[in-house]
Amino acid sequence: MRRKIYVLLLLSLVVLTGKAQIGGEYTYQFLELTNSARIAALGGTQVALSDSGDLNLPYANPALLHKDMDNRLLVNYVNYLADVNYGYASYAKTYPGIGNFAVGMHYINYGQFDEATETGELTGATFNAAEYALNLIYSNSYKRLNYGVNLKPILSSFESYQSFGIAADIGASFKSKDGYTTVALVARNLGTQITTYYDGADRERIPLNIQAGLSKRLKHAPLIFSATLQHLNHWDLSTPVEEQDFTGETIHQRQESFAKQMMRHVVLGAEILPSENFTLRVGYNYQRRQELKFNDKASTVGFSAGFGLKIKRFHFDYAISRFHLAGSSNLFSVSINLNNKF
């Protein structure tokens, strides 16, 4: 039965794939940002982790919200690039016989800007830019199958221009009998822009991202391996390479090989658990490495690492993710189990 489910999941992914490119085509791009230190350390996205105590997981896949997250509080903060910062806060509650609920707020603050005219002349005024998404998550289970949905009202504000939208994540996960293997499928950011930034503008698309994942915990070693296939609704994530002749003129565009295009969809992560209260993590994102390397100088771009530390009712996570040769991003997560006494 388990093998049939894995095969069915794989066939579903093949049907969903298409041929398109992403990047700069959508509004509300902040929905794709990783705010969890744990997920960031594992490559930036993982949708099949079955650790029921981590309240960060339902943000990636609402089916991962479990009853063991009841009465937990979570706060994330990300020191991003160029004075931009963003974060996420969430709280979960379980009602027996009804299901699991969580509410969260995801935000990004782009900072303060100097106002200028069309010709670039400064006016002396300043303005702010920020975006917000409320997360309303529900999940339940049927035997070893978990399912969930995350409804996300969105507000985007840039100076005097504002837009309102609505999106939803729909996910499912299935755990093996021994509990060591989990497979998952999620469609993120299904929705639309309700109001545009100015009158008469066309509605822009929201960054739909269909993902599938698998996580495997070894029975006789303190290791958890995870892999996620991202952007399954877009096959071609690459940019054609222009080849030039000796005069500098472009003669043709060379497409990437099938293997490289496939790797752009793969995000890999691994966790080492030396003890119950301490975890080491590492991740690799090939797509990020190819998009953000500079003049073929990649260095450690696309790699990420971090750790988790549990002290009584508190759980701390930290990650460092290399986006560019110019710098890295630091992520911090703090969760509190309000069920335990001080």
Write down the pTM of the prediction: 0.86
What number does CATH give the domain 2-336? 2.40.160.60
Most confident of 22-31, 77-86, 113-122, 130-139: 130-139
CB 267 within 8 A of CB 45: yes
Q: pLDDT at position 112, please?
A: 86
Question: Which single residue is written with the structure tokens 């979570």?
Answer: 74
- Cα separation of 337 and 312, whole Å? 9
- State percent of the chain over pLDDT 90: 61
First-last CA distance in the chain: 45
CB 322 within 8 A of CB 299: yes
pLDDT tens readout for residues 305-341: 999 999 989 999 999 987 665 567 889 999 999 986 5
Q: Check pLDDT > 60 for residue 24.
A: no
Between the CA of residue 95 and those of 60, 117, 188, 189, what are the distances in Å?
A: 22, 55, 25, 26
Q: Which of 37-51, 106-120, 188-202 has the lowest mean pLDDT?
A: 106-120
pLDDT tens readout for residues 208-266: 999 999 999 999 999 999 999 999 998 888 766 655 555 556 555 557 788 888 999 99
Q: Domain ranges for the chain, please list them.
A: 2-336
Q: pLDDT at position 8, please?
A: 37
CB 190 within 8 A of CB 170: yes
Query: Span 117-128, mean pLDDT?
Result: 86
- Degrees to nearest 5, angle at CA 211 with 207 and 216: 150
Q: pLDDT at position 152, please?
A: 98
Mean pLDDT (the chain, rounded): 86
Query: Span 112-137, mean pLDDT?
Result: 90
